[in-house]
């Protein structure tokens, strides 16, 4: 269900929402740039809630966002968390995770019954299943609910991570910002904001998106997979049931494929005037690793790619991102640090 609704060919369906939210992000950044991370989170959450449930997120403190953030806070608790309070906490978390799955879904189902539902993942699937048969709808609606619930969990923190890394990279590498703005100004002539149809005309912005996902992979070790049958790889026997962890970090920071891998350098994906293609040397596309592997590869990857692109292009078109300054007005160069865990 997920892969079909978020396929490459379906991605343009989400452009309107993504464009609107990118423009809203610009206004928020203009008003209160110091709340950067909050604005980026709001942007990611708004797009997901809109696309998945047809729900518009109002503002700070929105009910659905509060519910979801409470449920997702679970992942910050270390596995070894000791003590008798643990079972009580586990019960609370279970409740929070259920509520995250149920609350927005019920809102959409009510809207469907009243005939007021906006287009969304849930509405599409509901209509498809209903057209099939009443039984089909009854048997599958719980799956729809589960899939929809996964989209906030899968899509918010990951997009936030990538956009935060973008801002950090631009602060650390001001020459990248300059080149990007030259490209944007040349095409747009300060007369409008960039839009999705400009993608092919803005290779440097495309290269920035790739470099963000390579330089700071959102999930450096992906998600664990399991071998469903006995397998052999390069002479190693892998019995069925083995947990296999794809080392995305090692792939994307391999100095043979990506010389000076810790340097943020979008040019590594370019030949003069355009993006490298598979016929150019060393063209490994970070998108082939950063979104995971095989059947469980991120189903939101086309939507995520479009969202990173429009946000990054719009931000660079209207703002200069610079270091903050100290009391004496001197720029303070940040020392990058990252959180650990599944998502960086
Ligand atoms: C920059 C943004 C994103 C990155 C880097 C990212 C990355 C990933 C990765 C590495 C996985 C694990 C894949 C594997 O098991 O091999 C994953 C899974 C998943 N992602 Fe994303 N993701 C992003 C955005 C999104 C968005 C926007 C959505 C929703 C619309 C989404 C939905 C999901 C879901 C549902 C899964 C679980 C798939 C499954 O278990 O079969 N992701 N993502």
Nearest CA owner, ligand 1 atom 43:
298
What value does the mean pLDDT take over residues 289-317?
Answer: 95
pLDDT of residue 63: 82
What value does the mean pLDDT take over residues 177-187?
Answer: 97
Burial class (CB in 10 A: 0-12, 13-18, 19+), 313: buried
pLDDT of residue 282: 59
Residue 58 predicted with pLDDT over 80: no
What value does the mean pLDDT take over residues 290-307?
Answer: 94
**C-alpha 155 to ligand 1 mean position (Å):** 6
CB atoms within 10 A of CB 176: 21
Distance CA 163, CA 308 (A): 7
What CATH number does residue 156 fall under?
A: 1.10.630.10
pLDDT of residue 5: 87
Tell the residue number behind the tokens 């110091």, with chain if given: 34
Q: Are strands 225-226 and 243-244 parallel, antiparallel or unpaired?
A: antiparallel
Q: Classify residue 214: in a domain, yes or no.
A: yes
- C-beta of 314 in contact with ligand 1 (< 6 A): no
* Confidence at 169, pLDDT banded by 50, 70, 90: very high
Residue 45 zone, left/alpha/beta (φ > 0; ψ -120 to 50; rest): alpha
To test the pocket of ligand 1, the residue of 10, 14, 158, 213 to mutate (highest count of ligand atoms within 8 Å of its CB) is 158
Residue 231 predicted with pLDDT over 90: yes
**C-alpha 223 to ligand 1 mean position (Å):** 9
Q: Which letter, b or e, does each residue of 177-203 get, where b requires 16 or more Cβ atoms within 10 Å of its Cβ?
A: bebbbebbeeebeeeebbeeebbeebb
- C-beta of 309 in contact with ligand 1 (< 6 A): no
Residue 84 predicted with pLDDT over 80: no
Nearest CA owner, ligand 1 atom 39:
296
- C-beta of 154 in contact with ligand 1 (< 6 A): yes
pLDDT of residue 100: 85
**C-alpha 302 to ligand 1 mean position (Å):** 10
- C-beta of 6 in contact with ligand 1 (< 6 A): yes
The full DSSP string for 290-331 is: HT--GGGS-TTHHHHHHHHHHHHHHHHHH-----EE-TTS-E
Render pLDDT for 197-206 as a digit per residue (tens, 0 to 9).
Answer: 999 999 999 9
Residue 89 predicted with pLDDT over 60: yes
Domain that holds residue 34: 2-332
Nearest CA owner, ligand 1 atom 36:
298
Q: Classify residue 191: in a domain, yes or no.
A: yes
Tokens for 44?
A: 């990611």
Q: Classify residue 343: in a domain, yes or no.
A: no
R_g over Cα of the chain? 22
Distance CA 162, CA 338 (A): 12
Contacts of 5 (CB under 8 A, 6+ apart): 121, 124, 125
The answer to whether the annotation marks 147 as part of a ligand binding site is no
Render pLDDT for 15-51 as a digit per residue (tens, 0 to 9).
Answer: 999 999 999 999 999 999 999 999 999 999 999 999 9
Q: For 14, which DSSP code? A: G
Tokens for 64?
A: 């659905």
Q: Are strands 324-325 and 331-332 parallel, antiparallel or unpaired?
A: antiparallel
Q: Classify residue 337: in a domain, yes or no.
A: no
Q: Classify residue 295: in a domain, yes or no.
A: yes
Q: For 259, which DSSP code? A: S
pLDDT of residue 82: 61
pLDDT of residue 66: 81
Contacts of 72 (CB under 8 A, 6+ apart): 100, 152, 153, 156, 157
Render pLDDT for 93-106 as a digit per residue (tens, 0 to 9).
Answer: 888 888 888 999 99
Query: What is the share, in percent, of the chain residues with pLDDT greater than 70?
Result: 94
To test the pocket of ligand 1, the residue of 300, 341, 342 to mutate (highest count of ligand atoms within 8 Å of its CB) is 300
Q: Classify residue 339: in a domain, yes or no.
A: no
Q: Classify residue 61: in a domain, yes or no.
A: yes
To test the pocket of ligand 1, the residue of 47, 227, 291 to mutate (highest count of ligand atoms within 8 Å of its CB) is 291
Distance CA 202, CA 200 (A): 6
| Three-class secondary structure of residue 226 per DSSP | strand
Render pLDDT for 142-168 as a digit per residue (tens, 0 to 9).
Answer: 999 999 998 888 899 999 999 999 999
- C-beta of 305 in contact with ligand 1 (< 6 A): no
What is the H or E stretch that residue 170 is in? Answer: helix 134-172
Distance CA 116, CA 160 (A): 30
| Number of domain units in the chain | 1
Q: Classify residue 58: in a domain, yes or no.
A: yes
Render pLDDT for 264-282 as a digit per residue (tens, 0 to 9).
Answer: 999 999 987 788 876 766 5
**C-alpha 219 to ligand 1 mean position (Å):** 9
């Amino acid at each position: 269900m997920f892969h079909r609704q978020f396929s490459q060919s379906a991605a343009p369906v989400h452009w309107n929402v993504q464009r609107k939210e990118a423009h809203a992000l610009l206004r928020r950044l203009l008003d209160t740039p110091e709340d950067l991370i909050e604005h980026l989170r709001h942007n990611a959450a708004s797009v997901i809630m809109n696309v998945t449930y047809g729900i518009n997120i109002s503002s700070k403190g929105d009910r659905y966002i509060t519910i979801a953030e409470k449920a997702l806070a679970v992942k910050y608790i270390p596995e070894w968390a000791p003590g008798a309070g643990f079972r009580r906490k586990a019960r609370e978390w279970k409740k929070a995770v259920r509520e995250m799955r149920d609350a927005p879904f019920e809102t959409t189902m009510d809207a469907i019954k009243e005939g007021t539902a906006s287009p969304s993942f849930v509405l599409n699937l509901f209509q498809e299943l209903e057209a099939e048969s009443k039984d089909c709808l009854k048997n599958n609606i719980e799956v729809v609910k589960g899939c929809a619930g996964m989209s906030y969990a899968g899509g918010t923190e990951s997009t936030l991570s990538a956009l935060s890394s973008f801002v950090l990279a631009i602060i650390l590498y001001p020459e990248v910002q300059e080149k990007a703005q030259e490209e944007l100004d040349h095409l747009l002539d300060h007369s409008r904001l960039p839009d999705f149809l400009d993608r092919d005309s803005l290779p440097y912005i495309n290269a920035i998106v790739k470099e963000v996902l390579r330089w700071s992979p959102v999930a450096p070790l992906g998600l664990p997979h399991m071998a469903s049958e006995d397998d052999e790889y390069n002479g190693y026997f892998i019995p069925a049931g083995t947990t296999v962890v794809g080392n995305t970090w090692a792939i994307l920071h391999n100095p043979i494929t990506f010389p000076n891998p810790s340097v943020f350098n979008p040019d590594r994906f370019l030949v003069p005037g355009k993006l490298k293609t598979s016929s150019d040397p060393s063209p490994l596309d970070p998108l082939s690793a950063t979104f995971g592997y095989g059947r469980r590869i991120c189903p939101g990857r086309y939507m995520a790619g479009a969202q990173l692109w429009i946000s990054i292009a719009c931000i660079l078109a209207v703002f200069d991102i610079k270091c903050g300054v100290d009391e004496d007005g001197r720029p303070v160069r940040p020392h990058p640090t990252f959180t650990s865990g599944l998502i960086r």
